[in-house]
Each structure stands twice: as C-alpha cells, then as structure tokens.
Structure 1
Amino acid sequence: MNIAVILPKLVSEAPVLVAKDLIEQIHDKVSLIDIYYFDGENEVGFQCNCYKVSFFEPFDFDKYDIIHTHTLKPDLYIWKHRRKIKNAKCISTIHNYVKAFRSIFNLVTAFCVGKIWLLALRHQDAIVVLSENMKSEFSVNLDEKKMRVIYNGRRLSEDLLNVKFNNEDDKKIKVLRADFKIIGVSARLNKIKGFSQLIKALPNLKDYALIFIGDGEEKENLITLASELGVIDRCLFLGYRKNGYLYLPYFDIFAMTSFSEGFPLGLLEAGKFKLPVVCSDLPIFKELFDESEVVFFELNNIKSLEKSITLLYENRDFFSLNIFNKVSQNYTVENMAKNYLSLYNELLDL
C-alpha cells in the first residue's frame, strides 16, 4: 500500500502531530508513505520523504493507493485536482468544527470558507471525524455513510522527556512555583481557547499563578486583561516553545478552557504526565472523559471555574491517576493506527 499524506505545513500543531504519530506507527506496515506540504520547512522531524508543492500544481496522484489530507488547504487542493485522480482513494481527517473559522476570519468570511470547505469534503471517498459529537454535527451537511469516528492517540517521545529547558524559562517558573500553585496551558493563544476565563478567575484564586506556553493573536489582549485585573505578576507568558508538553511537569493543574475543540491533544498529553485537568463542559470533553477523570466547569461562569480549580487541586491525586489510566487504555497511537489501517483496507477492498 502506497500512501500520500498532504499537510498545510510541517509545524508543531495538532493536525500535524496526529499525522506524524500515525505515520510513525504504520510506516513498517505499508510499502510507502510520502508527505506533501505547501508552506515552510520540516520543523517536526518527519522521517519519510517530504515534498514541498504548489497548491496549483498536481503531483503524481496515482502513484498512490491512498491520499490522506488534513485540514482546509489540503482538502481544497484535492478538490481542485480531483479529476486528475484516477485510481487513488481520497480520505480527509476533520480536525475541527466549521465554527472554528470564526476565530480566524470575520463572520462573513468564516461563513463562506466553511461552505466551500464542506463542498470540498463531499468529493472525498471517506471522512474521518474525531468524535461522535463531531459526526453528529457534520452529518447534517455530509454523507454519514462516508464518515468514520477515529479517536486520536498521542505518543510522547521518550528521548525528549530528558531534554533540558531554557535556563531563563526554568528560573522564571521556579520563582512562581516558590510562592504559588501553577495552572498551566500549552496551546495557541486565540479567542476560541477561552484563556481569558483563567485570568478573570485569578483575582479570587490568591494561591495560584498562570503559565502560558504558546503564542497567538490573543496574547496582547490577555496581557492587557491581566494588567487591568492586577494579576499580571502572577501570569507568565513564555511564548511558543517546541514540544511544549515538556513543560507540563512544572504545572500543578492543566487547564482546557476552550469554547470549541476538535480533539484535545493537550488533554491527552496532560493525562500521560498524570497531571490533573480542569476543562470546560463541551460535549467533546464529556464524550472522552467522565467526572471521575477531569473536573468540568461551566463556560463563561467564572465562579464555576474557581470552584472547579479548587476542587481539582484538593483531590489532585485521585483525578491524576484516573485520567492517566483512561488515556493509557483508550487513547493510544496503537488504537488510532489500527483503526486507520482498517479504513484504508476497507477503501481498497483488501
């Protein structure tokens, strides 16, 4: 079986990390895996052939049995060149909801981009969604018979777990840890992640400080909010860090405060580190975890968030063990790869 994987760029973002974990798990079970991408360089260290292509130029599609796309631009690329694909089967993994475009574009543009994306997806032979909730939402516009639910897994490189941190980061974090319990996040800083809720909760959480690993368009707004609320001295914005999960051992609590989430890779990473998690009451989170594994809070209810953080910390040993067990048993790269290989074989009638 020859597989082409198409990605927008090779950076440390969730869709790319999922593709990387999948490729590393199945590379010895197929004949060939090649990666095609449009922008940037190979920042995440793919070990297979990587080819930079123009959106407007096709590659040799029928060299492959399976063409697997991730995210908007690769899906549009396949749609544009669909007539040139004679034999290969096309599959797309959907990593987020249509409404997530609202955090990137204005409302009109987001609406139009969403409609175009859905139209492109209709030309795929199979569509993978990351949860039953996502399947339910997309089945309104897409053929449910083409859809398959496959939960993500996450592998953390054992080699990286012993990497030494930036000395300046280490010093800054240790200063905070000396006086405060640490609530940490590791993600792109945009509105849809809901991190402003954490800053709004901080005035009433006198024993806590926040550490943000990540950059994004919302960073300056978060800094301004923290200054206005008088808690900037308890907020540390470290910016983007490659392999941000390596900072998780510094945290006492991991926060997932999103207003929308395709699949919470950060939650899996926290679980692997036995880190207790507070998360918003999104359907996707409640599908993946129950109230014995994480502590939920009501979105946009700061009092609820404050109480949840306090409850989580007081029972941190209980929750950290339960989330570790759940992630270790249910959300593994091995399970994910097995399900994808099954789908590939099904498409090829093998």
Structure 2
Amino acid sequence: MRIAYIVSSLANSGPIIVVNDLVHEFVLHGHSCDVFYFDDKVQLDFPCYVQKINFTDHIDWKKYDIVHSHGFRPDLFVFIRKPINRIKTKFISSIHGYLFAEQYSIWGTIRTFLSGGLVLLAIMRHERLVVLSKGGVRFYKRFVKFSKIKYAYNTTRIIDLEGEISTNDKNKILEFKENSILIGCNCGMSLRKGIDMLLKALVTLPDFKLVLVGNGPDKARFEQLSKQLGIEDRVCFMGYRPQAYRFLKYYDIYAMPSRSEGFPLALLEAAACGKYVITSDLPIFLETFSESEIVTFKMEDINDLRRALLSYTEQAVEAFQDNIKKRFVEDYNPERFYDRYFKIYKELMR
C-alpha cells in the first residue's frame, strides 16, 4: 500500500506525533509512505520521504492508494487540489479533537462557528473522516454523514522507558521534591488543560508538590495564580522539554485535569509507564480507561479533586499501576493501532 500523509508541520505536537506513529508502523509493516508538510517547524524525524509544500504545489495523487490529511490546512489543500474527475486514490481526514468546544475556549462564539464551519467545509471532499473515540463518532455524526465516520484509538509513541532527563533537570526535580508526594503534568499550558484546578487543590494539601512540563498561552497566568494562592514554592514550572515522558519516573501521581481532550496521548505514556493516574471525568478518559485503572474527579469540583489526590496510598498505587499498564499492553499498543488503521484503509479501497 502506498500512502501520502499531509500535515501542517513536523512539530513535536499531538497530531503530528500521531502521524509519526502511523508512518513508523506502516513502514515497519512494509508499506510505502510519503509525508508532505507546510511550515518550517521540523522537530520529529520520519522514516520516509518528506517534502515541504505550499498551496500552489502539485502532488501526483494517482501514485497513492491513500491520502491522509491531518488539520485544517492539509484538509483545505485536499479540498482545493483533489481532481474533479474520479480517481482510485482515496482521501481520508483525521480530526484530533472536538471542533467547537476546543475553539470556543480560545476565540469565543462568532469566530468559533465561522472557523468550525470552514473545517467542516474542508473535509467535504474526503471519503472518510477518522475521529479518535466512540464519543467522537457521536459528536461528529451531527455534522457529517454517519457512514463516513470511523474511529481509531491512538497509541503512544515508541518511547524509551529507560531514557533519562538531563542531569540539571534531574537534580532540580529531586531537590524540589524532597519528601513530598509529587504530582506531575506534561502538557501545553492552557486553561483547557485544567492546571488552575490543580493549583487551587494544592492550597490545602501541604504534603503535595506539582511539576509542570510544557509551555503555552496561559503559563504566565498559572504562574501568577500560584503566587496569589501562596503556593509558588510548591509548584515547579519546567517549561518545554522534548521527550517530556522521561519525567514520568519522578512523579508519584500523573494528573490530567483537562476540560477538553481529543485523545490523551500523555495518558497513554503514563499508562505505558504504569503510573498512578488522576483525571477529570471527561467522557474520553472514561471511555479509554476504567475505574480500576484511573482515579477520576468531577470536573470543576476542587474538593473532589482533593479527594482524588488524597486517594494516593501504597496499597492503591500497586493495584492501579498494574491494572493501567496491563490495559495499555492489551488495547493501546502500537500493533493494535496499526491494525485499526490498516482495516480502515483496506475497507475504503474496496
């Protein structure tokens, strides 16, 4: 099978990581892959041919069995450049989140519906839409013909569980932790990720400290909030780090208090490492892991978040860590990920 992937850039970000995983798995299984991208942001290596493009460039679609685009610009490129005449090549788009909900938190009502409408327009000429969960199918069938939608869970990257962070970072984390229970969160610093809830919960939990790895538009807001709450000495902002999963071994608890998620790649990394995980009660978390594998709290309920954090005990940790790692191996390993996408591609080619 010959596949073309079209992405916005080669940045180390969620949707591009998924494409990177896809390419690695399909190349490993003997398929031919090419990757086309728009922006000069190159952070991930792909084991195949890659080419920077713009909207005036021509791609010989007939060379490919499948063209798989990820993101608005790649989808729009397909919308504009796909031949009017019928060809054997099949076009697929993946949407990596909940369209209107995620944009509303950034742009407000009018821009959200305008931009959301453009995204839906851009995928009109694709034969298939892939979303990341069963919940995603229920959401998008309101806007897209149901028979056109498929879902596929992500996997985690091929991560080096023995890999180590820098000596400076390691010393900083260990000195910061001391004898506390250390909560960790690797994510973009935005309100959508619910970091403000963690900071508020920390106020009455003097035995807990928090490490945040990542940058984002609301990082300064969170730094200011930690000062206002009087907990700045128990919060460590590490900033962006490549391969942030390498910090997982130093956390006692991995927290994902998100208000919205397409698919929780960071949660899969924590599961692969067998961490004790606390999440909000988002449907995507409840779909991907059970109550015997993660501890959940009610969204926006700071007291319930405190309750979840205080559930951290030696006995609970051992059971949950075993369960979540077993679930990852059974349902979210790279082979399952490949099998699901191969089935979607093959069905479309018939």
Q: TM-score, normalising length from structure 1?
A: 0.95
SS in structure 2 of the partner of residue 83 of structure 1: coil
- 1:144 and 1:30, CA in 2 relative to 1: closer, same or farther beyond 3 A? farther
Equivalent residues in 2 for 1:278-289 (5 A)?
278-289=278-289
Q: Does 1:335 align with 2:336?
A: yes
Aligned residues: 347
Equivalent residues in 2 for 1:224-239 (5 A)?
224-239=224-239
Q: Does 1:90 align with 2:99?
A: no
- Structure 1 portions without partners, runs of 5+: none
The CA deviation at 1:107 is 3.0
Match of 2:203 in 1: 203
Match of 2:27 in 1: 27
Equivalent residues in 2 for 1:124-273 (5 A)?
124-158=126-160, 161-273=161-273
Query: Deviation string for 1:52-94 (max 9, x for gaps)?
Result: 1013433222221110011222112211222367432101111
Residues of 2 paired with 1:162 and 1:277: CA distance?
20
Matched to 2:131, the amino acid is: V
Residues of 1 paired with 2:165 and 2:4: CA distance?
35
SS in structure 2 of the partner of residue 165 of structure 1: coil
Equivalent residues in 2 for 1:37-52 (5 A)?
37-52=37-52
Residues of 1 paired with 2:55 and 2:234: CA distance?
45
Which contiguous aligned blocks of 4+ residues in structure 1 show a shift greater than 4 angstroms?
A: none
Residues of 2 paired with 1:282 and 1:241: CA distance?
26
Residues of 2 paired with 1:56 and 1:242: CA distance?
33
Q: Comparing 104-113 with 281-290, which one deviates more in the overlay?
A: 104-113
The answer to whether the 8 Å contact 2:27/2:47 transfers is no
Q: Comparing 240-249 with 164-173, which one deviates more in the overlay?
A: 164-173
Matched to 2:97, the amino acid is: N
Q: Comparing 196-205 with 78-87, which one deviates more in the overlay?
A: 78-87
Query: Deviation string for 1:93-127 (max 9, x for gaps)?
Result: 11100121224434321221111111222221111
Residues of 2 paired with 1:50 and 1:205: CA distance?
49
Matched to 2:94, the amino acid is: T
Matched to 1:140, the amino acid is: R
Which among 93, 102, 123 is matched to residue 104 of structure 2?
102
Q: Comparing 237-246 with 306-315, which one deviates more in the overlay?
A: 306-315
The answer to whether the 8 Å contact 2:26/2:33 transfers is no
SS in structure 1 of the partner of residue 107 of structure 2: coil
Residues of 2 paired with 1:183 and 1:157: CA distance?
21
How much is the aligned-residue C-alpha RMSD, in angstroms? 1.5
- Structure 2 portions without partners, runs of 5+: none
Matched to 2:321, the amino acid is: S
The CA deviation at 1:311 is 0.9
Residues of 2 paired with 1:144 and 1:312: CA distance?
42
Q: Percent same amino acid among aligned pairs?
A: 34
Q: Comparing 291-300 with 37-46, which one deviates more in the overlay?
A: 37-46
SS in structure 2 of the partner of residue 170 of structure 1: helix
Residues of 2 paired with 1:76 and 1:195: CA distance?
33
The answer to whether the 8 Å contact 1:133/1:283 transfers is yes
Matched to 1:210, the amino acid is: L
Match of 2:120 in 1: 118
Matched to 1:294, the amino acid is: I
The answer to whether the 8 Å contact 1:202/1:209 transfers is yes
The answer to whether the 8 Å contact 1:12/1:243 transfers is no
SS in structure 1 of the partner of residue 182 of structure 2: strand
The CA deviation at 1:30 is 4.5
Q: Comparing 99-108 with 261-270, which one deviates more in the overlay?
A: 99-108
The answer to whether the 8 Å contact 2:10/2:41 transfers is yes
The CA deviation at 1:223 is 0.2
Query: Deviation string for 1:155-188 (max 9, x for gaps)?
Result: 3333xx4444223211211112213111000011
SS in structure 2 of the partner of residue 40 of structure 1: coil
Residues of 1 paired with 2:184 and 2:123: CA distance?
36
